[in-house]
Amino acid sequence: MATDWPPFVSEYCPAPAEEPAVARFEAELGVALPPEYRGFLRTHNGGRPIRTVFQIDGKRGAYSDDVLNYLYGMGGVGDQLTVQRAIDLAPEVRADTIPIGSGCFGDRIHLAIRGPDRGAVFWQNHEDPKRKLWKVADNFHEFMWSLTPENIDP
């Protein structure tokens, strides 16, 4: 299990998730979380990384990347969503994934928790009526380390 994570913006990081809270969440889901994501919750428990841009496989042109706004945790900071609240707000989410973060303009970041893609990270365009999931990384650790800085032109 990976334990090294890129730097985070400290004011957006809740305290690490306690083991009993993670275990209860897994029991409610009826599945163990992928080890890398579980380790992330126990270390960072959500938050905003300093590097936020990620590439979307198969996408080209203006919509080939997105910006990660926030990763949900077990308990949020201020008005940030928790993983459980994000699940409650998105009943249309596939049964094999959970929403774990938000991108620009309401796009969602999902983690596969069951099936052949277990552990993979996906992006979902909030305006897509078909709710297609686009793979962005084979696992959570790869996703986190693939993030790059925003290129903001003056």
Task: Give 80-130 pLDDT, tens digit per residue.
Answer: 667 777 777 766 667 799 999 988 778 889 999 999 999 999 998 887 767
pTM, two decimals, is 0.86
Confidence class of residue 16 from pLDDT cuts 50, 70 and 90?
A: confident
Considering the segment(s) 8-146 as one domain, its CATH architecture is 3-Layer(aba) Sandwich (3.40)
What is the chain's length?
154
Query: Do the beta carbons of residue 39 and residue 1 sit within 8 Å?
Result: yes
Q: 150 is written with which tokens?
A: 């925003």
Q: In a 3-state reduction of DSSP, which class is residue 42?
A: helix
